Chains A and B, each alone.
Chain A
Amino acid sequence: MADPVLLDIAGLSLSLPSPAGDLQILNDITLRLERGRTLGIVGESGAGKSMLIRAILGLASRRARITGAVRLDGQHLGALRERDRRRYLGARVGVVFQNPTAALNAYQRVGPQVSESARVHRGLTKMQARELAISLLDRVGIPDAASCHDRFPHEFSGGMKQRIMIASALAVEPDLLIADEATTALDVTVQKEILDLLQILQQETGMAMIQVTHNLGVVAGRTDEVAVMYGGRLAETGPTPQVFAAARHQYTAQLLAAVPSLDSPPDRDLRSIPGQPPDRLIGITGCPFAPRCHAADAPCADRMPVLRRDPAGHGAACHHPPQDVPLPEQAR
């Protein structure tokens, strides 16, 4: 029996040198994803979600200093030569990006784009590639896939383009599909269709999935695990139902409280977290959320809380979790 752990991120840190000092983009990220499971990574813009994905894929800037280890299927990616890592990942990981209009090459027909990675990594012939592309297009719900093979991206709607992107990510039958804000640029109704499609495909193929998003609704019913990021750090992580039911980090609690509910009185203001996320990630020794946190005291600003997980894998890096210091009542 193969190791159930597919992706193992251990103590991953990433810093970028800058004139003002090293920017700590990612700080000691430790995460695990088992085969066939779904991990949601949530956080505001600048929390480090996309950089985490880039670091996993080996696409971070050449100037970036990376420590820690990323293992996919037991293979330590940092130990591979760049060319080998590229091929290893290209054949095992599919990625779907945010904006399908920009993520598809407008100058090439969609069919060849869908089958491209299988052509490159598996050496498919032209005929095989065509068959594969048509079957994938069909699978992601493109009507009349055979005739769509030779059309150009601009002939499709945004939702259709995202389906095409998903088809292209599936071409190598990946063990892991990364959806990096894959539904953010789409209409709400189309968002649901795409999320449903991803879920169905995951059930059919048994691949693991990472949903990167700033939308808690995407994470809620559709992920097994969730990782909440803030300021380049893991604020909280654990099984999704537990995190949503009993958040252990003030940031998570605030985020969840900010989600408007249909039950809340219509005249109530939407709840928000005061302040801005940190923009200069230099020389922060304490909790990055401290400046915005109602529960923060002096030690919070000095000392980074340690993330400890319970046996279920639920843990948060917070000195004063919401269990000790409840959220303030909302002002009317």
Chain B
Amino acid sequence: MTAPMRSYLRAFAIRIAAGIPVVLLVTFLATALSDLMPGSAAQAILGEFATPEQIAQLNAAYGYDLPAWQRYLRWLGGAVQGDFGVTLYSQQPVAEVLLARAAVTFEIALAAMLLSLAIAIPLALAMAARAGSRIDGAFRIAASAMLAVPTFVSVVVLSLLFSITLRWLPATGWVPLFEDPLENLRHIALPVLCLSVHQVAYFFRVARNEFLATLQQDFIASARAKGFSTPYILWRHALMPSLPQILTVMGLSLTYLLGGSFIVESFFAVPGIGWTVLAAVQDHDLAMVQAILCLTVAIFVIVFACVDLGYALIDPRLEVR
């Protein structure tokens, strides 16, 4: 292993370690706050005709009556060993269920991310080179319009178009990737498209402005004076210096996408994290809620550690520490 490689890994480990207190704080607060949720888990399980004795019995059995800090320590003791408890109804291990759901969300998130970048970045480069032209103005207006469309509208419009009218894509449901890759692709297409509406517009705006700022720099003028073509200058000289800013918004977007979109996942009945957390909150499935929170915070910590290292990889002036 080379020396820079080792220092990158070390820097990554330091950033992950620094994120641990954040994870602890958020999960503890979640435990404490569950006391404030209307209704109780025991009530939810036993139904509205349960006697106080039955409820007390169940509370004692699950430890729901313990003070928050004791419940938290119990949870933490299990969590560090990979045991996040069992789901409330099906009594399956939470970790196992959540991992399967997370795989679904991650697949959609990554696909949406790649699709959005593949559209937005080349377009932003092309428009930054023609900044102020009519076509640039048209794309900027289109991007603003796309950002203004709420997700609950885009899911309806896109599924009306692609599955009801054109009948190209299934409206709902899910087929795992390894069961039938082609069917899987058809099923993720609509959720990915819906998530990409905002992402494309967002990346386009940020990247276009960033490229535009880079194109005003002196080293671009020297490249022009050397007689290089505009496409060459855009790819070879303008792209890299604009990446740090784009990387930042990619990080923000990724944490949002990996957390799962409630609206998109529930509309298309995709069994991902967003769909699961909605069900878990309604069911008072505290173990599941807690595990999802823990996962979401962990994603934040990991993504931003990666973004931080990304800066250092892109910009030779930065040193990893």
Q: Which of A83, A104, A120 contacts B226 (CB 8 A)?
A: A120
Report if B152 contacts A (CB, 8 A).
Answer: no
Which of the four size classes fits the interface of chain B? 20 to 34
Report if B217 contacts A (CB, 8 A).
Answer: yes
- Residues in A with CB closer than 8 Å to B229 are 83, 86
Report if B227 contacts A (CB, 8 A).
Answer: yes
Q: Which of A87, A88, A90, A103 contacts B219 (CB 8 A)?
A: A103
Q: Are A99 and B218 in contact (CB under 8 A)?
A: yes
B1 to chain A, nearest CB (A): 21
Task: Report Cα–Cα, A154/B318, bound state, in Å.
Answer: 10
Report if A89 contacts B (CB, 8 A).
Answer: yes
Q: Which of A20-62 contact B (CB under 8 A)?
A: 57, 59
Q: Could you give, for residues 62-101 of chain A, a 1 whenever the CB lies within 8 Å of some chain B CB and a 0 otherwise?
A: 0000000000000000000001001111110101011100
Q: Which of A90, A91, A106 contacts B316 (CB 8 A)?
A: A106
Report if B221 contacts A (CB, 8 A).
Answer: yes
Q: Contacts A107-B240, A107-B315; is A59 near B226 (CB within 8 Å)? A: no
Q: Could you give, for residues 120-157 of chain B, a 1 whenever the CB lies within 8 Å of some chain A CB and a 0 otherwise?
A: 00000000000000000000000000000000000000
Task: Report Cα–Cα, A102/B216, bound state, in Å.
Answer: 11
Report if A117 contacts B (CB, 8 A).
Answer: yes
Q: Are B241 and A57 in contact (CB under 8 A)?
A: no
Q: Contacts A90-B228, A117-B226, A120-B232; is A105 near B317 (CB within 8 Å)? A: no
Q: Are A105 and B241 in contact (CB under 8 A)?
A: yes
Q: Are B222 and A95 in contact (CB under 8 A)?
A: yes
Task: Report Cα–Cα, A86/B316, bound state, in Å.
Answer: 30
Q: Which of A89, A103, A106, A120 contacts B222 (CB 8 A)?
A: A103
In this complex, what residue of A is CB-closest to B228?
A120
Report if A152 contacts B (CB, 8 A).
Answer: yes
A42 to chain B, nearest CB (A): 21
Q: Are A116 and B219 in contact (CB under 8 A)?
A: no
Q: Are A97 and B315 in contact (CB under 8 A)?
A: no
In this complex, what residue of B is CB-closest to A53?
B225
Q: Are A107 and B218 in contact (CB under 8 A)?
A: no
A119 to chain B, nearest CB (A): 10
Q: Give the interface SS of chain B, mostly helix, strand, loop or mixed.
A: helix
Q: Are B227 and A105 in contact (CB under 8 A)?
A: no
- Residues in A with CB closer than 8 Å to B221 are 59, 97, 103
Q: Are A154 and B225 in contact (CB under 8 A)?
A: no
Task: Report Cα–Cα, A261/B166, bound state, in Å.
Answer: 85
Q: Are A102 and B219 in contact (CB under 8 A)?
A: yes
Q: Are B225 and A105 in contact (CB under 8 A)?
A: no
Q: Are B317 and A106 in contact (CB under 8 A)?
A: yes
Q: Which of A95, A102, A152 contacts B225 (CB 8 A)?
A: A95
B199 to chain A, nearest CB (A): 25
Report if A309 contacts B (CB, 8 A).
Answer: no
Report if A165 contacts B (CB, 8 A).
Answer: yes
Q: Are A107 and B314 in contact (CB under 8 A)?
A: yes
Q: Are A152 and B226 in contact (CB under 8 A)?
A: no
Task: Report Cα–Cα, A108/B239, bound state, in Å.
Answer: 12
Q: Are B222 and A90 in contact (CB under 8 A)?
A: no
Report if A303 contacts B (CB, 8 A).
Answer: no
- Residues in B with CB closer than 8 Å to A98 are 218
Q: Are B217 and A102 in contact (CB under 8 A)?
A: yes
- Residues in B with CB closer than 8 Å to A105 are 219, 223, 237, 241
Q: Which of B212-271 contact A (CB under 8 A)?
A: 217-219, 221-229, 232, 237, 240-241
Of B218, B223, B226, B240, the most chain A CB neighbours within 10 A belong to B226
Report if A121 contacts B (CB, 8 A).
Answer: yes
Task: Report Cα–Cα, A102/B241, bound state, in Å.
Answer: 12
Q: Are B226 and A116 in contact (CB under 8 A)?
A: yes
Task: Report Cα–Cα, A59/B229, bound state, in Å.
Answer: 12
Q: Contacts A87-B227, A91-B227, A116-B226; is A103 near B316 (CB within 8 Å)? A: no
4 smallest A-B Cβ distances: which pairs?
A: A90-B227, A102-B218, A95-B225, A117-B226
Having A91-B227, A97-B218, A103-B222, one finds 17 other A-B pairs with CB under 8 Å, namely: A59-B224, A59-B225, A83-B229, A86-B229, A90-B226, A97-B221, A98-B218, A102-B217, A103-B221, A105-B219, A106-B241, A107-B315, A116-B226, A116-B228, A120-B226, A165-B222, A168-B222
Interfacial residues, chain A to chain B (CB-CB below 8 A) = 57, 59, 83, 86-91, 93, 95, 97-99, 102-108, 116-117, 120-121, 152, 154, 165, 168
Instruction: Write 14 A-B pairs (CB below 8 A) sorted by A numbering.
Output: A57-B224, A59-B221, A89-B227, A98-B218, A103-B222, A104-B222, A105-B223, A105-B237, A107-B315, A120-B226, A152-B316, A152-B317, A165-B222, A168-B226
